[in-house]
Amino acid sequence: MLDLVIEASALAFHPYVLMYVFLGVLLGITLGAIPGLSGDMAIALLLPFVFFLEPAMAMGLLVGIYKGGLFGGSIAAISFGVPGTPGAAATSIDGYQAKLKGTPSKALHTALYSSVIGDTTSDLVLIFIAVPLAAVALTFGPIEFFALYAFSLILIAALSQGMVAKGVAVAAIGVLLAMIGRDPITGASRLTFGMPELSGGLSLIPVLIGIFAISEVVIQGAKLWRRKVDKLMDDVAEQASLLQGYDISKDRLTWAEFKSTLKATYIGAAVGTFIGALPGAGQSLAAFMSYGLAQRFSRRSEEFGKGSLEGIASAESGNSATAGSTFIPLFAFGIPGSATAALFGAAFILMGMTPGPSLLTDNTAIIYALFFTLIFANLVNLVLGKILLPYYSRIAMIQPGFMIPAVFILAIVGTYAANNSVVDVWVLLFAGALGVTLRLMGFPLAPLVLGFIIGPGAERALRQSMIMGGGDWTVLITSPIAIGFYVAAFALILLFTLALRAKQ
């Protein structure tokens, strides 16, 4: 065992490997910060080069990009309200509000620390209890997945405190939007209004960026325009003072503030690790579930949605905590649980290692080296993030007059680049218009996005369960895990109602 650890650390801590990790994290943070570009995309582009690198170096580079990208997504989410990656959508809810309050640095640092803590937790779980957790993941079939999604839908109600009806209504719109495209069971086109462009459904990235970012930019632009017409000169002065008035030394995350976010971070780490290990559930679901739970268990839940640091911490830690555990199904069964895991699987294959149970036994030293690299990359992420953040905070406080067109261009280019699709750009603009309408009418936007994210999975799981059960609804309560979820959902509703009564 000791020999193995020494051999693996010699591989993992080779100067070249360290250099590649460093390079990867830098690349990942930068790409993640640009909406539409993600670590995944860079990993896909680098796949052929993996073949020509030493496995440990290739791993270092890819792991670095992946982790940097996970955190980088939150930078755009906080600075511009544009989630750089789908996983960062939940981060943008409170992150952007915090920035509007003039505390981007606090928000970015909270995101960095919670991201690193969540990620490290997940890596440790991968290293030490991958095998038992993988066994749990396999017990999730369609019936259990539907119960999980139903449970998440209950959390939507929890998310939109004080306006449950509006929250449920927009969640339904989200589910409806997600139904556009192909019927998951028959493959027939539906709700496409005869437009073949819609037959593949609406992509996640344009909907996310449209709902969150475009709508925000349009509303801000409109405000700015009105002010300009009213009093042009005053406005110029005011804008200049916004930039000059920002003092980064007053925008430091204090130790007390950091400590206050820890509970939310731990909730995120636990939820993210668990959701990450389930094949197909995804970063965004993890982030939104953590956010919902953290809000419910927070002492200052009323601050959520208004720039709460706890909100940022829970979302970002939940999102990053999928990083290690998403490899669990890949290592244990050769099943890639996410797009990233699929890309890593392809990289393993190109390096001559077959993902699956034999991966560890056949390549023990290199996999142990990968474990070291996973942890080391978190440290690099922390250090690089810490060095880069002051600059990002300043960017975040640039005058809105410059910012609005920049965000608009970033959103459009980023959307196009993600799938090379012009249709996606139209979807982005329509989603933006929908977002503006809903904002003006006072609807919360997060439930819509969550409905959109879990809608397809929930429908598929429900209809698969029904097919397997021969059309009998009782099939849904034939699994102990599913029953557990329903009971937990019921208990949560009860708890929330009682808590609400107690408050009143």
Partner 1 sequence: MIFKLSKTAVAVTAAALTFTAGASVAAADSLGSDPIRIVMPYGAGGSTDITARIIAANAAEHCGTRIDVVSMPGAGGMEGLQFVADATPNGHTVLMADYSATITQTLTEDTPWAVEDWVPIVHLTDWKPTVYVKADHDIQSIEDWVELAEAEPNSLVFGHADPLSLVHLPLVLLEQETGIQNVHLPTTGGGETRTMILGGHIDLGMTLPPSIVSNVNNGEVTAIGVFADERSDVLPDVPTFQEAGYDVSFEAPLLVYTFSSVPESIQQELSECIMTGLDTATAQRMSDQASAGLDNVQGMESAQAIYRDTTQRVKDVLEAINQD
| Phi then psi dihedrals of residue 164, to 5 deg | -60, -40
User: Which residue of 127, 129, 227, 356 would you call a contact of partner 1, by CB under 8 A?
Assistant: 356
> How far apart are CB 417 and partner 1 at their closest, in Å?
6
Quick check: 208 and 89 in contact, CB under 8 A?
yes
Binding residue (CB under 8 A) for partner 1 from 358, 364, 437, 478? 358
The residues pairing with 189 across neighbouring beta strands, listed in sequence order, are 182
Candidate list 19, 23, 41, 224; residue touching partner 1; CB under 8 A: 41
Tokens of 430: 């329509």
Is 349 a binding residue for partner 1 by CB under 8 A? The answer is yes
Among the listed residues 24, 84, 181, 318, the single contact to partner 1 using CB under 8 A: 181
What lies within 8 Å, CB to CB, of 131 at 6+ separation is 332
Residue from 74, 97, 110, 203 touching partner 1 (CB under 8 A): that is 203
**# of chain residues touching partner 1 (CB under 8 A):** 73
CA distance 353 to 233: 65
Stretch that binds partner 1, among 46-54, 82-90, 101-109, 154-162 (CB under 8 A): 46-54
Interaction of residue 459 with partner 1, rule CB under 8 A: no
H helix intervals, 441-479: 446-468
Distance, in Å, from the CA atom of 89 to the CA atom of 297, rounded to the nearest integer, reads 21
Task: Give the residue with the Cβ less far from partner 1, 192 or 301.
Answer: 192
Site string for partner 1, 379-418 (x = CB under 8 A): ------------x--xx--x---xx--x--xx--x--xx-
Query: Of the listed pieces 192-200, 304-312, 433-441, 447-455, which binds partner 1 according to CB under 8 A?
Result: 192-200
Cα 402 to chain centroid, rounded: 27
Question: In whole angstroms, what is the distance from residue 155 CA to residue 290 CA?
Answer: 10
The reply on whether position 221 binds partner 1 by CB under 8 A is no
Q: Interface with partner 1 includes 224 (CB under 8 A)?
A: no
Residue ranges in 79-138 that form contacts with partner 1 under rule CB under 8 A: 137-138
Stretch that binds partner 1, among 106-114, 185-193, 305-313, 376-384 (CB under 8 A): 185-193
Interface residue with partner 1 among 129, 242, 419, 496 (CB under 8 A) is: 419
Alpha-carbon Rg for the chain, nearest whole angstrom, is 22
Give the per-residue SS3 of 372-429: HHHHHHHHHHHHHHHHHHHHHHHHHCCCHHHHHHHHHHHHHHHHHHHHCCHHHHHHHH
Secondary structure (H, E, C), 218-284: HHHHHHHHHHHHHCHHHHHHHHHHHHHCCCHHHCCCCHHHHHHHHHHHHHHHHHHHHHHHCCCCCHH
Nearest distance from C-beta of residue 148 to partner 1, angstroms: 14
Residues 267-286 that bind partner 1 (CB under 8 A): 279-280
Residues 51-70 that bind partner 1 (CB under 8 A): 51
User: Which residue is it, tokens 């020509």?
Assistant: 52
Among 1, 2, 3, 186, contact with partner 1 (rule: CB under 8 A) = 186
104/447 with CB nearer partner 1: 104
Min dist. Cβ of residue 394 to partner 1 (A): 6
Q: Tell me: does residue 424 bind partner 1 (CB under 8 A).
A: yes
Residue 6 in contact with partner 1, rule: CB under 8 A = no
Over the window 465 to 494, marking each residue x when it contacts partner 1 by CB under 8 A and - when it does not, the resulting string is --xx-x------------------------
For residue 56, the one-letter residue type is A
* Interatomic CA distance for residues 379 and 132, integer angstroms: 27
* Whole-angstrom distance, CA of residue 234 vs CA of residue 120: 49
Q: Where are the alpha helices (DSSP H) in 278-351?
A: 283-296, 309-320, 322-325, 328-333, 339-350
The reply to whether 357 sits near partner 1 by the rule CB under 8 A is yes
Half-sphere exposure of 60 (CA within 13 A, CB side): 24
Cβ 48 to partner 1, closest distance in Å? 4
Q: Choose the binding region for partner 1 from 54-62, 108-116, 328-336, 428-436 (rule: CB under 8 A).
A: 328-336
